[in-house]
Structure 1
């Protein structure tokens, strides 16, 4: 008697379990069917929907990468040094002797046409501007001196026009002036110096310095 009862209980349990499994399967089929029907009604396949989503994620990733590259390039530019003019011919060199100077030449001359765009060779703060070499003497004509974070100063002379003011912060490559032929000059060019102080008499070889900063002069 007990064996038959046990068998009936086991049979009942098996039936209930199978019914539950079938119900779960039916529910999944209904849900899947509803999804397929919805996709069919909208005219978009599930694979197309996935593809569109992937495209959106891919585009977002590409845009994020481009923004990161642009930011890195801007940071690199801000940290770098450049030539103060884009196209030029080198003329009088640093420490060159000659009758044009009371002592040896204190900078590097870049022969360029009158009115050529003059750029900040590196980011910094303008500390001197004006005629009379911005206080360094009439031989320089109109001049600018910029102080840089590494303790060096760059000087730009013989300018036809000055477009910055004392205290102004400039970035690498920013327009600061137009080249000219003012002061003790035999023709249009930019006189460029690297100094250890803002004043005349502290110049070092600007070409050697720019080379050390990775600039091809």
Structure 2
């Protein structure tokens, strides 16, 4: 009967090496080798097809605090909300939500993400400075707040697809809240795709001429 070698103690990083000029991303720190290997296994098995460029490889290495790292996602809503604020949505693979799925699985990740977004939205509302009275005729400057989609605006015929979708089952309410987060990015992608197809179609005016 083969004996599984003991895992090394200490602190480790997960390395995600992307092809070409995209370079290597480090995630960590992880306490213990098994924790890091479990994250790599989940990243490879569960979420690799959701955005990793072809040729991406993963591995583990001793943690080096001198090197930049992406954080291990928190499960506490307040801390996860702070991680959302610190990491741009365009960070690339493995983004924060992808790492969260690898860290705790699809179902727990979806619920943790929604809880963090709810906490984040509550903080925006409670921390917004009150509008003070201005002299007669003066106009309040516009507030620059993040636009938030309302889950109630997601069509029910779309949320009903949750019951036929593969993978972990979410309720229609959870599906609506999750879609409300991604909806602006999806709409923007579709608009850009439609614009590109229109410009490339025969007969489309381009700088006063036709394509």
Point out the structure with max Rg over C-alpha: 1
Bigger proportion of residues as helix: 2
TM-score (norm 2): 0.20
What is the TM-score when the length of structure 1 is the normalising length?
Answer: 0.19
* Larger strand percent: 1
Higher relative contact order (CA 8 A, sep 6+): 1
